[in-house]
Amino acid sequence: MAVAEPRVIRLLMELRGQGISDTRTLAAIEKVPRDRFVAEPFLDQAYENHALPIACSQTISQPLVVALMTQALDVTDRMKVLEVGTGSGYQAAVLAQLCRRVYTIERHKPLLLEAEARFRALRIHNITAKVGDGARGWPEQAPFERIIVTAAAHDIPPLLVEQLAIGGIMVLPLGDTDQDLVKVTRTADGIDIQHLGAVRFVPLVEGVPGG
């Protein structure tokens, strides 16, 4: 087994120090090379614990936030996961190490095409991606055991709750200026909400550019 390079080890130690205790989440982050998802001008910061800009005025999330959301999802290798907001593809690549299949939706076609090229280059074959309005989910593939939203919504999107299996978990940021990361569990009677802390994401926008 290859030994992780020092900057990866340093990042993993930092994540552990900030409360990421799930060994599967840490192993997935160790396995996925973040530098393959970062724009060239920021390659020297690929393993620093902060968000970085990518194309289409979007960002690749801070590693701590990726780890926190992944840990909160509590994914197993038999699960089908929906991701709203592919972005660079990094979060999907991390989840792909842990679940049966990731379905990911991105409203910006250039971002999606770049992400799919990265998946192919890294030989990650259990991700299915499409351009679309993430707030509408992917009803043809529902229900999902897990849903992750990587952009901040005003409220919990009802169509996504409908596509979540009973007992399933959705993790998403809510709010405008003051955003809160929440874990939503669908029950037979409705939903339970757990607050995970303050975060900062780009807003969830409905529709697709030019659509």
Question: pLDDT digit string (tens) for 66-120?
Answer: 999 999 999 999 999 999 999 999 999 999 999 999 999 999 999 999 999 999 9
Of 4.10.490.10, 3.30.70.20, 3.40.50.150, 3.50.50.60, which CATH number belongs to 6-199?
3.40.50.150
Annotated catalytic residues are 61
**List of residues 6+ apart from 109 with CB closer than 8 A:** 131, 208, 209
- Find the length of the chain: 211
Q: How many CA atoms lie within 13 A of 176 on its CB side?
A: 0
Residue 55 CA to residue 110 CA, distance in Å, equals 8
pTM of the model: 0.93
- Phi, psi values for residue 58, rounded to 5°: -110, 180
Residue boundaries of the structural domains of the chain:
6-199
Amino acid code (one letter) for 159:
L
